Amino acid sequence: MIVDNRIGKTKKIRLTYGEDQWQYGELRIPDGPGPHPVVVVIHGGFWKSIFAVDLMDAVAEDLTKRGLATWNIEYRRVGNIGGAYPGTLNDVANATDFLVTIAEQYSLDLTKVVAMGHSAGGQLAFWLAGRNRLQEDSILKTSSDPLLPKGVVSLGGIIHLELMNNLINYKQQMVKNMKIDNPVTDFVGGTPNEVPERYAEVSPVRLLPLNIPQILIHGDLDVNVPVKLSAIYKELAEKAGDQVKMITFPNVEHFEIIDPDSKVWDSIVNEVRNLLKD
């Protein structure tokens, strides 16, 4: 199914990559001749079904106005039939590989693809970059020749699942007489002790080295995803031999880094452009 809409000066095309209602993406193509570099945009929301692709509409729209094709993908989430492990990850993989199917028709340059995710989308973006390291018999392995990004960007991303799980559990212990859900265990299907084999496949720190340039963007006022997750990931990735750049914005919170009107957005766009250079 294809639905064309006009949003400002950009063209948004809704394309389905599967049969489920949530298996679709929104392709925006910049003006001018291609082939166009592509940013795979992945929304967050703790992998929960109450959050959807529109979280990254403004991001995708702005990047396309600046000359980059964007593929803002939706996927089954926790609360959707087939969501969580493994469905969420399989959807993100299939949505990304779908670019191969549409590249010629929409003049996309698949040698210049960057994956960028916010919050839980950061985990999914970095997982995309490391999925070629999965075992051949993994339930998450959807292709023998996956489309791998040239670079990857985490915007306040949950790129260390075990640590995030432990932080949430600690908060649960500190807050008496109040139930705090743990979106990490809801997504993975258990704790690191209960399903260690899943964390080994899903947590980006367990898939290192990714062998591509990585950008970590975090605001130091982020109370949703502590900036320490990015700092620890950087240490581990560099020890594994990866090239990682971390930018910590002072006095910036979790959602400001996906606001094109914010004071930090131009800097983020510049990092994306640098990853797409030859």
Q: In terms of Cα–Cα distance, which of 143, 119, 159, 14 is closest to 74?
A: 14
Round to the nearest angstrom and report the end-to-end CA distance of the chain: 34
What pLDDT, on the 0 to 100 scale, is given for residue 274? 95
Contact 9, 65 (CB under 8 A): yes
**Which residues, in sequence order, are bridge partners of residue 69?**
38
What pLDDT, on the 0 to 100 scale, is given for residue 169? 82
Domains and CATH numbers, the chain: 2-276 (3.40.50.1820)
What pLDDT, on the 0 to 100 scale, is given for residue 178? 63
Q: What is the pLDDT along the chain (278 residues), one digit of tens a residue?
A: 333 343 455 679 999 999 999 999 999 999 988 899 999 999 999 999 999 999 999 999 999 999 999 999 999 999 999 999 999 999 999 999 999 999 999 999 999 999 999 999 999 999 999 999 999 999 999 998 999 999 999 999 999 999 999 988 877 776 666 666 899 999 999 999 999 999 999 999 999 999 999 999 999 999 999 999 999 999 999 999 999 999 999 999 999 999 999 999 999 999 999 999 86
* pTM for the predicted model, two decimal places: 0.94
Query: What does the block give as tokens for 155?
Result: 């915007």
Count CA atoms closer than 13 A to 229's CA, side-chain side. 30
What pLDDT, on the 0 to 100 scale, is given for residue 44? 96
- Cα angle 33, 39, 42 (rounded to 5 degrees) comes to 145
What pLDDT, on the 0 to 100 scale, is given for residue 8? 52
